[in-house]
Amino acid sequence: MLTTGQLRQVAGRSGARDIGNVEIDVILTHLLQLFSERGVTEHLAFKGGTMLRKMIFGPRGRLSTDLDFTCRTQISTDDLMLMMLDALQAPYHGLSFRFDKDKDWYLIEEGCAANPVCAHAENERGVKIKLQVSTREFPVLPVLALPQIEQDYFKLLGFAPAAVPCLAFEEVVAEKIRAASQRSKIRDLHDLSELAARPLNRDLIRSLAVLKLWNSGGPGLDYERFRTRIMEDGDYDVADLTNLLRKDQRPDLDATIRRVVDGFRFLSDLTPPEQALVSDNAQRRRKEADALITSLVQTAQ
């Protein structure tokens, strides 16, 4: 694990506002490596904000503070939790792990989560890290092992960061769309704003978003509902996002909202098969959903 002096230097060179978030980023890199070495990632697909930073945006992307995965094999939730627990039993490259099995490891709706405290010689109190694994659904597209984008501190590590199995990029974007359709979090808004500036396979992303929301069992993909939720939420925590950005970045909430609303307008261009699933809140059209999945997988190959 990096020393406090090294963390300060990394924070200074990267322009990070908060050395604590840099420390978390380094810890997350260690956890990914540990899970890779112990075979945990053979059952998982990496996703979420940390995946976007480490595999897509690189060190100029916002910092993130947790690890999110989707389970991609038939392993039971209990066995998966035991694998993760076992991986954290012994110190790893200067990190040690503390947790209460009854409080810090728990089942959630359609998945499991953990909050281990990760400590090292210069921070014995440690940092609580959130780990979450979704068992709601298997990945739609093939999972890809992606290399982590080089970061300033990689040369200070005692290992070469491994490639990590990840959800396909389009599926990660679709999950962000699902999240933003169901809740209002400024981190999701910011990520979608950054993604909107990139070349996107719009048809594939829209179909995946339709499937993701259909599988959730609630209201289907509706661009107008998506747009209204994003534009009319008055409770975005701008300070939380600011703390995760570089010093030369300052959130412009109105501009961020405009980029998302304009950049994802293609979500309204539903095809007839997509429209059929959008209107199927009772999830009766499993055959149609499976047919759409098959066509997307064939297109991606």
Domain spanning 4-166: which CATH class is it, in words? Answer: alpha beta
Q: For position 144, what pLDDT does the model report?
A: 95
pLDDT by residue (tens digit) across 261-298? 999 999 999 999 999 999 998 889 999 999 999 999 98
Task: Please give the pLDDT value at position 24.
Answer: 97
**Taking 90 as the threshold, does the pLDDT of residue 90 lie above it?**
yes
Scored b (16 or more CB within 10 A) or e, 92-127 reads: beebbbebeeeebbeeeeebbbbbbebbbeebeebb
- Least confident interval from 125-129, 171-175, 231-235: 231-235
**Considering only 75-89, 192-206, 233-247, which range has the smallest mean pLDDT?**
233-247
Read off the pLDDT band of 166 (50, 70, 90). very high
Q: What is the pLDDT of residues 108-160, one digit of tens each?
A: 888 999 999 999 999 999 999 999 999 999 999 999 999 999 999 999 999 99
CA end-to-end span of the chain, whole Å?
Answer: 40
Q: Is residue 298 within a helix (H) or strand (E), and if so which, with residue range? A: helix 286-300
283/279 Cα distance (integer angstroms)? 9
> Which of residues 232 and 263 earns the better pLDDT score?
263
Domain ranges of the chain: 4-166, 169-300
